[in-house]
Amino acid sequence: MTARIDVVVPTLDAAATLPRTLAGLAGAGCGLALDVTVSDGGSSDATADIARRSGARVIVTEPGRGGQLAAGAAAGEAPWLLFLHADTVLGDGWCDAVRQFVDEPDNATRAGHFRLRFDTTDRRARRVERLAAWRSRALGLPYGDQGLLIARAFYRQTGGFRPLPLMEDVDLVRRIGRRRLVALPADAVTSPRRYERDGWTRRPLRNLTCLTLYLAGAPLPVVQRLYGR
């Protein structure tokens, strides 16, 4: 039986990266039927036009990734949801990995995430990838750039994405719980732009500081100012 999945991609001025993300989903095959929703936060570039030309549904919301993700999920009705960032391309074998996950009955109350990979040959990226794998495995904190695959019923049961300007991914996976998160055997190949701009040491340290402040209960506007864009 074909598995129906609503893919939700939040965007804001993502014209430079969105075509590759959507192209990676086109013609998925392997028993998957994908319905893509681009949830746009008011882009001033060609993001919406690119999405429509690809055949995706486009909805326009207030900017803020948590709210955009929630609105995108609400726009569809497929029994499974796959959340994916607009600068991420799923790597080889992702379709089979997703199919195997949704075919397993026990995964109706679990969520899957991909392995983080950066689209660069820079050796410093490999260190950050290993840190992300450890964080996901030991702490149960995969980030949004690793994607999230979850049954719609379980998504609703957990309360779904909250309208947060950032840390919406951490907020949701903490409610899912470490023991109900599964690493999928495929990569989420992500743009290294922020790391190349801010530094392969400084950016992870900034992310860690933001996470620590958030978990300690710091006001989100404070965390957001430190995080930047």
The separation between CA 170 and the C-alpha centre of its own chain, rounded to angstroms, equals 11
Structure confidence at residue 165 as a pLDDT band (50, 70, 90): confident
Rounded CA-CA distance 188/113 in Å is 9
pLDDT of 229: 64
Q: Provide the mean pLDDT of the chain.
A: 95
Closest CA to 187 of 226, 129, 127, 128: 129
pLDDT tens, 135-150?
999 999 999 999 999 9
Structure confidence at residue 134 as a pLDDT band (50, 70, 90): very high
pLDDT tens, 41-88?
999 999 999 999 999 999 999 999 999 999 999 999 999 999 999 999
pLDDT of 27: 72
pLDDT of 30: 85
Q: Does residue 26 have a pLDDT over 90?
A: no
Provide the 3-class DSSP secondary structure of residue 172: helix
Q: In three state form, how does the secondary structure of 189-211 look?
A: EECCHHHHHHCCCHHHHHHHHHH
Q: Which CATH code fits 3-195?
A: 3.90.550.10
Q: Structural domain boundaries of the chain?
A: 3-195
Rounded CA-CA distance 50/119 in Å is 22
Closest CA to 101 of 136, 55, 147: 147
Rounded CA-CA distance 228/190 in Å is 18
